[in-house]
Amino acid sequence: MLRHIQKRCMSGHAGGFNSPLQMSMVNKVKYQDVSHDLTKGPQAGVYGVIPQYEGALPVEDMEVTVMPNGVTVASVDKGGAIARLGVFCKAGSRTETAANAGIAHLVRHAWFGGTSRRSYIGAAREPFQCGADISAFSTRECFGVTTVCAKDKADLILDHMTQSLICPEFWTHEVHGAKASAAAESAKMGSNADVVLLEEAHRVAFAGKGLGRSLFIKPYGPQLEQDDCFEYVNQHLAPADNVVIVGQGIDHETLKAMTDEFTWNLEAGAQAPAEPKYCGGRDSHIETGGSLVSAMLLTKGMPAGSKEGVALDLVKFIVGAGGSSITKGANNSKLMFTAGEHLSMPYTTACVNIGYSDTGLFGLSVTSHQTEIAPLLKSGVEVMGGVINSVTEEALAIAKTKLTANICMQDDSASQMERAAFGLMGCGASQADTLALIDSITVADVSSTLKAVWASDPILVSVGNGENLPVLKEIL
């Protein structure tokens, strides 16, 4: 479910290495007495020579075509008998209004209902008979439907995936069922402190509008019905210039022909979302009792996929992306070590970078016993302030190595497809573009970006026991 709250959203990269074997490989191989400097060339290690790559790691090129009606088609054929397909629309909770808040969440749950060409039973049975696994997701800026299927069934499955764009029905009984399942998911997410904290951070940072709208339908929100679903799909999902179709394991000309057959009647006319307005200098606390408190101290960040946004991703690895204090002896995190000098009870602290097409949020995420939340937040501010003018070439080189490895190891075929779609929609960058940006960033870029971001008015949001929670002015 966390992919529905921005997977995207906390893009949590593990900072450091958590097993003794990994530490021995990276920091020092005790049995061979060989030091491993990540900023230098190939060296002998436990498994032989560590390969040295010059520039970005090789990534297969995707062919991209913009169809006459505005639909973007991208594909790479890796061979084999399996194809991955994705239909992505540049719309999400950001494009909602006060009158239809939660509609993106509802449409996601109603997406696999009947259409004018397929009944509800037919829509459910056809992918099953083809051996396809179809899923839908929604974020603040993107709505997507993805699948894995046999290559010889790709045309049938793509036809099925695009039907809710072309000829949806949203029958009343199906919408009511979707409302019930969406409400159940919303209630489940409402019991997750991390989800609640992230939702509140966006609400406070963007004043509850645009990017500040919730990802989930609310019981006290507007009563959404069939007409609301039709209107949202027609205005925000169906415009051809908002649609990106990505395929892996399928020939580009074949995918173009299928796209032309199934989406020829879509017309351009996408509406650009309103410019986000960041509202800094605000506090918010949600009291839930207990002994713990989780908090986020955030400032206005940089767009995803931009050079500045990637520079902030590198900052995460320079200060330490975080982890449990139980394993801090195996975690080279400045945030964790600095906090450990002031705290006596278990805690966790991490650097957070959340990027969107035209803005972002950057800062700290912490959790501790309610009596130690103030020193934990202050230690994080101390680390961030010290990094602005103390980034070294060695620290940057190590951060680049970690971020590059993190991207390459975590990007399976499905996430590469989504990265490509986000890049084509302007909501991020492809893997190849991201790796190229990492190589181009200098110490001056990191310092200037962090200085500019950290100078803006922050927000402080928290969930839990707020008895000893400091106000924003006390932390700064």
* pLDDT for 441: 96
* pLDDT for 439: 95
Identify the three-state secondary structure at position 90: coil
* pLDDT for 409: 78
* pLDDT for 418: 87
Smallest CA-to-CA distance from 466 within 330, 254, 299, 292 is with 292
Identify the residue whose tokens are 């509008």.
209
* pLDDT for 331: 52
* pLDDT for 458: 96
Q: Which domains does the chain have, with CATH numbers?
A: 63-263 (3.30.830.10), 278-475 (3.30.830.10)
Contacts of 150-155 with C-beta under 8 Å, sequence gap 24+, read 150/81, 150/82, 150/83, 151/80, 151/81, 151/82, 151/83, 151/249, 151/250, 152/81, 154/83, 154/85, 154/247, 154/250, 154/254, 154/258, 155/258
What the block records as the tokens of 251 is 């020939």
Contacts of 51-57 with C-beta under 8 Å, sequence gap 24+, read 55/436, 55/439, 56/404, 56/432, 56/435, 56/436, 56/438, 56/439, 57/404, 57/408, 57/435
* Nearest-angstrom CA–CA distance, 462 and 471: 11
* Nearest-angstrom CA–CA distance, 7 and 9: 5
* pLDDT for 164: 86
* Nearest-angstrom CA–CA distance, 422 and 143: 10
How do strand 143-150 and strand 82-89 relate by DSSP bridges?
antiparallel
Q: What is the pLDDT of residues 138-194, one digit of tens each?
A: 999 999 999 999 999 999 999 999 988 888 999 999 999 999 999 999 999 999 999
- What is the b/e burial string over 351-361, where b = at least 16 CB atoms within 10 angstroms of the residue's CB? bbbbbbbbbbb
**Residues in the chain where the model's pLDDT stays below 50:** 1-59, 322-330
* Nearest-angstrom CA–CA distance, 70 and 270: 10
Identify the three-state secondary structure at position 26: helix
Which segments within 198-331 are labelled E, that is strand? 243-248, 283-287, 292-300, 323-324
* Nearest-angstrom CA–CA distance, 208 and 218: 13
Note the pTM of the prediction, 2 decimals. Answer: 0.84
* pLDDT for 39: 43
User: Which amino acid is present at 275?
Assistant: E
User: Which amino acid is present at 335?
Assistant: L
